[in-house]
Amino acid sequence: MKAAILVENKKPLVVTEVEMPKKLEFGQVLVKIFYSGLCGSQVSEIDGLWGEDKNIPHLLGHEGSGVVLDFGPGVKTVSKGDHIVLHYMKSSGIDSPTPKYKWGEKIVSAGGVTTFNTHAIVSENRITKIPKDFDLRLAPVLGCAIPTAMGVINNEAEVKIGQSVVVFGLGGVGLAISQCASLTSAHPIIGIDLHKNKIELAKKFGVTHGLINNPSIEQDIRSITGNNGADTVIDVTGNSKIIELCYKITSPVGKTILCGIPKENDNISIFTKPLHFHKTLKGSQGGGSKPDIDIPRYIKLLAAKKVHLDKFITHEYPLEKINEAITTLKSGEAGRIVIKMSHE
């Protein structure tokens, strides 16, 4: 199989042939991958922002789409030929051993799921079956961005009709959060980013007030929400100073939800007294989503045209140009990027 390998932090991925294990273990599923999403958290991992990576060399990618080719003993949730979404959040099914690939004489590590590769051996609990007529190009966003966004709004923020929502960072997850907030009839929905094109795109996903981040952004937001601040403020940037601002502009009874993760040792400083009363500060891991339950629900919403993904994906690259895709993502100009696998 062909794969993009992380060989050294802060260096381009190496796209090359990798040897797969010849036998599927208990709970493992062999998948032919058609598309992978490119998430900002993968860029943080590539750049080593969260500390020393002790598993190099290893494969990457945690959201994708594909077709089941085979499966090991014990697997019951999928069959050969099924179309599936790959996701990093654990679902029903077996939590299988992680596979070891070979690159020449080196062992290449992998987690329960990887998607920057044409084929993958994944754990049964990291895939969910989808209808065969669902577009595999769109399907990767059901593996991370959409479940995270829906979970943040429904499970963690528990946004009510007419409550105000502020989103810092309008990449793939930020756009999805904006759309999900709109589904709950939140108002206003304020989206903040450094790039005007992303703000304009966000308005198509439910943002009512798009703002360029600037030194007076706190005053700009309060002029919309009122001096008490917003009911829910969500950070998708992972920038410690923005996280502090998110907390500051959250109302005394509101919720600050953190989707972005700061780099190691980039700590935040906040006044914690409001947390002892009614204010909430919470870190999110995938919005508390349960993929086997939630993904079919989201597909129903898509079929009913309650959720729109056609403008969500802004760029597409072949696997061979994944490093160009990463550069585009770092530029801040993209919504969601997908990587297309070629199968000759």
* Confidence tier at 307 by pLDDT (50, 70, 90): confident
Taking only the tens place, the pLDDT of each residue in 106-161 is 999 998 899 999 999 999 999 999 999 999 999 999 999 899 999 999 999 999 99
- Between CA 121 and CA 133, with CA 127 as vertex, the angle to 5 degrees is 110
Of 308 and 124, the structure prediction assigns the larger pLDDT to 124
Interval 14-38 mean pLDDT: 96
Res 19 pLDDT > 70: yes
Fold of 2-138+312-340: Quinone Oxidoreductase; Chain A, domain 1 (3.90.180)
Q: What are the phi and psi torsion angles at 201 (to 5°)?
A: -65, -40
Q: Among 181, 144, 179, 126, which residue's Cα sits nearest to residue 259?
A: 144
User: Count of residues for the chain?
Assistant: 344
Our measurement of the distance from residue 303's CA atom to the centroid of its chain's CA atoms, rounded to an integer in Å, reads 22
Res 296 pLDDT > 90: yes
Distance CA 113, CA 99 (A): 9
- Give percent of the chain above pLDDT 70: 100
- Between CA 62 and CA 191, with CA 293 as vertex, the angle to 5 degrees is 60
Of 118 and 43, the structure prediction assigns the larger pLDDT to 118
Half-sphere exposure of 80 (CA within 13 A, CB side): 4
pLDDT of amino acid 337: 93
Res 41 pLDDT > 70: yes
pLDDT of amino acid 344: 59
Q: Which ranges in the chain are annotated with CATH 3.90.180.10?
A: 2-138+312-340
Interval 306-310 mean pLDDT: 82
Taking only the tens place, the pLDDT of each residue in 245-289 is 999 999 999 999 999 999 888 899 999 999 999 999 999 988 989
Average pLDDT, the chain: 93
Q: Which ranges in the chain are annotated with CATH 3.40.50.720?
A: 145-288
Res 343 pLDDT > 80: no
Domain 145-288, CATH homologous superfamily name and number = NAD(P)-binding Rossmann-like Domain (3.40.50.720)
Contact by Cβ (8 Å): 58, 116: no
Q: Among 189, 68, 50, 170, which residue's Cα sits nearest to residue 129?
A: 68
3-state secondary structure the chain: CEEEEECCCCCCCEEEECECCCCCCCCEEEEEEEEEEECHHHHHHHCCCCCCCCCCCEECCCEEEEEEEEECCCCCCCCCCCEEEEECCCCCCCCCCCCCEEECCEEEECCCCCCCECEEEEEHHHEEEECCCCCCCCHHHHHCHHHHHHHHHHHHCCCCCCCCEEEECCCHHHHHHHHHHHHCCCCCEEEEECCHHHHHHHHCCCCCEEEECCCCHHHHHHHHHCCCCEEEEEECCCCHHHHHHHHHHEEEEEEEEECCCCCCCCCCCCCCHHHHCCCEEEECCHHHCCHHHHHHHHHHHHHCCCCCCCCCEEEEEEHHHHHHHHHHHHHCCCCEEEEECCCC
Res 47 pLDDT > 80: yes
